[in-house]
Amino acid sequence: MSEQMPGGTTDITDNDKLMAALSYPIPLVSIIILVSETMKVRPFQKYHAVNSLAANIVLWVLYILISAVTLGFGACIAWIVLLPLLWWAYKAYQKEWVVIPVVTDFCKKQNWM
């Protein structure tokens, strides 16, 4: 993915990169971005906030299912499901528009991005 925004602009600030990256491992940051008037108008921040919130929901549901199916034993290894969040955070900090299979397409179809 390139660093070019959908509108043809490349106006990605350091603050945009930081907030986008933090939204993946810390879902509360995503909520703050979407509630804050000054942040949700920034396309890069909004894109990653919506993407990370949806991804966090999906991954936490997977984590809980793995733990429940394996009667708690899976909780020891189920945290591996959450590792992609760190990779996506790194990619967001590199000014990339992270595309998460199924999740990103779903969010776009819902017009959340």
Instruction: Give me the helices (H) in 42-102, please.
Output: 43-69, 75-78, 84-93
**pLDDT above 70 as % of the chain:** 88
How many Cβ atoms sit within 10 Å of the Cβ of residue 19?
A: 23
Global confidence as pTM: 0.82
Whole-angstrom Cα distance, residue 29 to residue 20? 9
pLDDT at 8: 44
Question: How sure is the predictor about 78, in pLDDT bands with cuts at 50, 70 and 90?
Answer: low
pLDDT at 3: 47
pLDDT at 35: 93
pLDDT at 1: 44
